[in-house]
Amino acid sequence: MTAKTPGTKTDDLSVSGTGAAMVPEMRTDADVPMSEEDLLAIEGLGRPFPFPFPLLRKRSGVYTRRLRIPYVERFPFSPLPVGMDADSMEELTPNPEGPLPIPNLPIPRPEIPTLPPKIPFPQKYRYGTEELRVDVDGRAPTMTVSGIVPGGLFVKRLTWIARVTRTASGSYAGPISYRDGTSSLLPQTQVEVRLHPALPISPLTAVAKFSGGGATTVTRHYGFDRSHFREVNFEFDTTSDSTAVTTYDTASHPNRPAGLPAETLSIESGYGHMGIKVTRSGDSIVNMSAAGSDTLWSDIEMHDAMQVNWSKWANLPQWALWVLFARQHETGPSLGGIMFDDIGTAQRQGTAIFSDSFVATAPSGDPAPAAWVQRMLFWTAMHEIGHAFNLAHSWQKSLGTGWVPLTDEVEARSYMNYPYRVAAAPGMTPEQRFFSNFEFRFSDNELLFMRHAPERFVQHGNALWFDDHAFEETRMTTVSPFELEARVHRSSRFEFLEPVTIELKLKNMTDSPMVVDARILESDQISLVISKKGADPRAIRPYARRCFQPADRVLMPGESLYASMFVSSDVYGSVMDEPGEYVVYAFLDLDELDVLAAPLALRVMPPATRQEEQIAPDVFSEAVGRTLAFGGSRVLEPANDALADAAERLPDRRIAVHAQAALGTVAAKRGKVLEAKDSGKLDLKMKKADVTSALDQLGAAYGDLDVAAETFGHIDVTQRVMNYAETVKESGDAKAAGSIAGSLADTLDARGVKPSVVAETRSKAAELSD
Amino acid sequence: MAQLTVSLEDGFAQDHVLVRINGATAFEGTDVTTRMQTGLAAAVRADAADTVHLEVQLPDRGLSRELDLDGSQTPFVRVSLVDGDLAVATTDQAPYYA
């Protein structure tokens, strides 16, 4: 039985679209805009084609359209609007209504200056790309159309797949039979794609009509982007006692399909024919002289060698893999190759092919033994790399966690089948029968997977081997020169009523100095979203936005920038006013790059006493939130009263520390206040300091420096306590001031703060003592 | 004297496996698991007389299979767990894995 599948025969009319001449970009906003979400396709591109051009041209490949996506989504994230007139356009203006509703506060509002119902924060946008993957012609088409609709950082993007047939009118249509991600991004159930032009005299475009599913029909326009479906980097290293075989002359062995094109296949072109563009990097020789007599390889040794020798090694998902051509595995000659990288978090990045194995010995009587060996080595390399793309053996498709229900393909003429496992035929061994009609390809289902499955299932270092997981997906797939960390230097458990301050750290992860703005972590390029378990995520809108004069800061390799951020409340009220689990998401907008921190999990404990419950409405008021965020207030008397009450009634709780700090800070120095006269005019007054009260309050707040450091964080407590020490010195007690600063240095040292910070604090303590 | 190779291939998942050749235990493993990227869990090689009585047992699953074979003719035995039962095949062709 011959396992023929559509597209196995070379299509003489199909030519891969790899042109060189450039044509002007087609910038037609001929797309259906999206209401509410400010999404607008802003580009439809044509791709150059060679001139003189072929009469007929392959049109399969990836088509794209650009989208503008709100940087911080409103919640709940609305589905893409449908039903707009195809020719209507949406202006590129921010939504004046503001992205977030005011939360329904469960407590009465105190009398404070009324905020406008919605504050028009300028919305920031980033650009995303929607893909339409058309797989209907060329070599081995799977008659599939698929797409990727970008979501947001907290809305998982959607991958959808439709198996299509050609209609009488020349379009390709079919039901959307697979979805992965947020289905509401494309609720329609049918797709019809028309490719333009019919003749290759203009740039390629695709028009997709989505209909059905009870949703309004929408039409989208895409421009041709590329003919390949994936692009992967391969790096080949060869041990000094082995030989790399990366090519095969398909005409060199007489046992082959009659119509098999004669060509010298390389690993690159072999995958290229399958729609996977391969680039190469950094081939090198692994010197085996130090191994002595132990030249066999274990999986662990290969994994270690990968990390040392592979120029692109990273414990991250990436479209790159490493191939080692070695002599023999420790299990012996029966193992011709292996995808050894099934350990750790980033798997499927390394493969090995063993030259001194069964592949090196042609069967007795084979008419072309050298070609047989070459063919087996080539087949093994393609096979192992196929595993790195997360392809299982042909007879194992139904095992494990398939991305879709799969059936075994025991007779498949695929790189992923063992030649000797197919059925024999009269006068032919299984292997002879396999190669008699093997066309050096993968099966249709395997091509469907490699070309159209959700990226994380296919990408190396992403989904675990043999396993088919919006914020984490984006974070894990973003390769950045920086690492952003959101952290607390303490237990993640916060007392009820305890204000929450986190620390941000931006680290240069490269080997070269990197320049950033010195105060980037305090700017509006930093965004925080907090999600309480069971509730929608909420973007933090700080009480104040600061615009700093740009100042470059050079971060040397491994050096970091730090900042603290108060997250308990924002302009819309308390954020963490209920017991429960919270997750803090931090991301930094570096123009062309988003740097995302690993989510920070925190927990707010239940009230410990009845008194905490009683004063909670006052503590969680907007006024108190503002007061604590700014470090104190001379005018928000209700807030000061609430804080004083909290300090008196709950002296042993962390809220008392914050309350006393806020009250003492403003009392320590005189400050300007605006008073409104009856006439409506504003009068500027200077409020006097109350140093005695300040020292009492601050002394109580910072009496236990370890507690203060834990609740304020290291950055804030350092600044606060040094200010306190300054106040003590100004009151005339330099010795005490120096002692306070010295104790701070000891506390920071004991808590593992950077030695440079501790040293600086001690130096200041000495100055204060003078 | 033939060298017999018994290949434990597909379907094994942390299984207790016993391989006996002519009454002697040639292999016992308590965590025999198929590596999906090779389709092989373990390979047992043993010198054996041309006439071989082979037993493959999975005591925890209550599975057992016995067969007699001529090691000089079919020195390779491939064993898999298929649909909860042992499938055993003998061959003169050395299986290979990749």
The residue range of the domain holding B17 is 2-91
Q: Is residue B30 part of a domain?
A: yes
Segment A150-162, tens digit of pLDDT: 887 667 789 999 9
- By C-alpha distance, the chain B residue nearest A388 is B37
Q: What share of chain A is helix, strand, coil (3-state, %, to 5)?
A: 25, 25, 50
- By C-alpha distance, the chain A residue nearest B95 is A334
**A56 — pLDDT class (breaks 50, 70, 90):** low
Q: Is residue B98 part of a domain?
A: no
Cα A522 to Cα A538: distance, rounded to the nearest angstrom? 19
Mutation choice for B interface testing from A330, A334, A431 by most B CBs within 10 A: A334
* pLDDT, position A126: 62
**Cα–Cα nearest to A716, from A424, A488, A445, A459:** A488
* pLDDT, position A605: 93
* pLDDT, position A117: 45
* Minimum mean pLDDT range among A104-118, A175-189, A560-574, A686-700: A104-118
Please name the residue ranges forming H helices in A351-400. 369-388
Say if B38 is an interface residue toward chain A (CB within 8 Å).
yes
Domain count, chain B: 1
Mean pLDDT calculated for residue range A427-451: 95
* pLDDT, position A125: 60
Mean pLDDT calculated for residue range B54-73: 93
Confidence check: pLDDT of A210 > 70: yes
- Closest CB to A337: pick one of B10, B94, B98: B98
* pLDDT, position B1: 67
Say if B43 is an interface residue toward chain A (CB within 8 Å).
yes
Confidence check: pLDDT of A142 > 90: yes
Q: CATH number of the domain that B79 lies in? A: 2.60.40
Q: To 5 degrees, how large is the angle CA A433–CA A438–CA A443?
A: 120
Confidence check: pLDDT of A246 > 70: yes
Structure tokens at A542: 């700080």
Mean pLDDT calculated for residue range A529-535: 81
Q: Per CATH, which fold does A480-606 belong to?
A: Immunoglobulin-like (2.60.40)
Please judge whether B95 and A387 are an interchain contact, meaning their C-beta atoms are less than 8 angstroms apart. Answer: no
Chain A nearest CA to B56, separation (Å): 21
Percent of chain A residues past pLDDT 90, beyond the cut: 58
- Ranges of CATH 3.40.390 domains, chain A: 230-393+444-471
Name residues whose C-beta falls within 8 Å of residue A648's C-beta, 6 or more positions apart in sequence.
Answer: none
Report the run of H or E that residue A718 belongs to, with start and end. Answer: helix A714-730
Segment A476-510, tens digit of pLDDT: 555 678 889 999 988 889 999 999 999 999 999 88
- Closest CB to B97: pick one of A334, A392, A396: A334
Mean pLDDT calculated for residue range A163-182: 95
Segment A371-410, tens digit of pLDDT: 999 999 999 999 999 999 999 898 887 766 677 777 788 9
pTM greater than the 0.80 cutoff: no
- Closest CB to B96: pick one of A358, A395, A396: A358
R_g over Cα of chain B: 12
- Closest CB to B37: pick one of A331, A334, A338: A338
Q: What are the C-alpha distances in Å from A421 to residues A79, A224, A448, B47, B97?
A: 48, 41, 23, 26, 11
Segment A298-331, tens digit of pLDDT: 999 999 999 989 988 887 888 999 999 999 999 8
The winner for highest mean pLDDT among A264-278, A343-357, B46-60 is A264-278
Mean pLDDT calculated for residue range A685-712: 94
For domain A230-393+444-471, is the CATH number 3.40.390?
Answer: yes
Please judge whether B39 and A420 are an interchain contact, meaning their C-beta atoms are less than 8 angstroms apart. Answer: no
Confidence check: pLDDT of A5 > 70: no
How many whole angstroms from its chain centre is CA A671? 46
Mutation choice for A interface testing from B12, B37, B97 by most A CBs within 10 A: B37
Confidence check: pLDDT of B18 > 50: yes
* pLDDT, position A466: 55
Mean pLDDT, chain A, integer: 82
Asked whether B92 and B76 are in contact (CB, 8 A), the reply is yes
Chain A nearest CA to B23, separation (Å): 26
* pLDDT, position A38: 31
* pLDDT, position A591: 67
Asked whether A332 and B42 are in contact (CB, 8 A), the reply is no
* pLDDT, position A113: 45
Q: Is residue B97 part of a domain?
A: no
How many whole angstroms from its chain centre is CA A185? 19
Segment A7-43, tens digit of pLDDT: 222 222 122 233 332 222 222 223 333 332 333 332 3
Backbone angles phi, psi at A715, to 5 degrees: -65, -50
* pLDDT, position A89: 26
- Closest CB to B98: pick one of A332, A384, A429: A384
Segment A650-692, tens digit of pLDDT: 999 999 999 999 999 999 999 999 888 888 888 888 989 999 9
**Cα–Cα nearest to B36, from B61, B60, B15, B13:** B13
Please judge whether A338 and B10 are an interchain contact, meaning their C-beta atoms are less than 8 angstroms apart. Answer: no
- By C-alpha distance, the chain B residue nearest A364 is B93
* pLDDT, position A396: 83
Segment A568-615, tens digit of pLDDT: 998 888 999 999 888 898 988 876 677 888 888 889 999 999 999 999
Q: Is residue B40 part of a domain?
A: yes
